[in-house]
Amino acid sequence: MGKPKSPIVAIIGPTAVGKTAISLAVAPAIEGEVISVDSRQVYRYMDIGTDKVSMEDRRHVIHHLVDVADPDDTFTAARFVEEANGTIKRVIARRKRPLLVGGTPFYYNALFGEMLTTSLASDVEVRASLLKEAEIKGKGYLYKKLEIHDPDLALRIHPNDLTRIVRGLEVFYTTGKPASWWYRHGKKIKSPYNVLYIGIIRPREVAYNKIEQRARRQFERGLIDEVRWLLKNGFDERFPSMQGLGYREVVKYLRGLYSMDEALTYYIKATKSLYRRQMTWFKRFKPIVWYDLDEIDEDVAVSSIVDKIKEHMGVK
């Protein structure tokens, strides 16, 4: 008989539905610390566009895996798994409870599914060349390349998911073999966790309204100045971090390719598209308990979530 899996809980859901607010209320009630599962909040200096939790809230509830990499760094799913596993162990060793929170599905799949024991190769120059190619010829051109070189991977990712398209091609050009080959033949380990997902949702029209409000608020708070500072310090669109929603649109505004209104409009449109993709992904996650925050009072939801977590973790 194998070692029992450790119970752990993750608060998931699409963008702009209120996961952060729920986690800030839940964490103190379970003596928990938040482990961020967000592929953009790992980057330093990128605060407004990633809608990071405030420093005041981070003093109230400890957050991990926020501000752990510079924007020119490559933060892979394998690296996330390595750091998340280490963080989970340290939190438990201090007799606290880890609470995973965020909306990056492939990080969850990597942590709770089978994962390669070694990271795949990366090459900044190859990645920069691919991003430039995408800028000139479009995402569709790179996606067709991926279909040729790694058809298995192409079937699993969205044609608009430029980050993963570029990563797949980067692995192929750097190693000579597709990423799907490495996954099939590389040494893997199984997840040691028994996860319960807590899903936070809102009706689409409500989420869309919140997406629009948040984007406008980010522009008012200084997103353009944040991106201008990043570009001034050499953190430009060569790097995956700067291809994230909001940042890529503002970069194009600062390069004279978009007006400010166009940048905001395209940002909102892309974020709504992300919301739809995230809903598709998260519907496949199991076991999961869903909470629609338009149908249930937030305080009632928090109380119920706390009870579910304690039950899952065997806490009386």
287 assigned ligand-binding residue = no
CA-based torsion, 105, 75, 9, 17: positive or negative:
negative
d(CA 146, CA 112): 26
Phi, psi values for residue 288, rounded to 5°: -140, 145
18 assigned ligand-binding residue = yes
15 assigned ligand-binding residue = yes
Among 22, 39, 36, residue whose Cα is nearest residue 274:
39
d(CA 155, CA 147): 8
16 assigned ligand-binding residue = yes
74 assigned ligand-binding residue = no
Among 18, 1, 4, residue whose Cα is nearest residue 211:
18
Q: Are 279 and 272 in contact (CB under 8 A)?
A: no
CA-based torsion, 143, 145, 146, 147: positive or negative:
positive
Specify the DSSP element, H or E, that contains 86. helix 77-93
159 assigned ligand-binding residue = no
Query: ω into residue 151 within 30 of 0, thus cis?
Result: no
128 assigned ligand-binding residue = no
d(CA 51, CA 282): 21
28 assigned ligand-binding residue = no
Q: Which two tokens stand for residue 145?
A: 């390349």
Q: Are 251 and 158 in contact (CB under 8 A)?
A: no
Overall size of the chain counted in residues = 316
With H, G, I as helix, E, B as strand and everything else as coil, classify residue 134.
helix
Residues 6+ positions from 55 with CB-CB distance below 8 Å: none
* Annotated binding-site residue numbers for ATP: 13-20
* Annotated binding-site residue numbers: 13-20
* Annotated binding-site residue numbers for substrate: 15-20
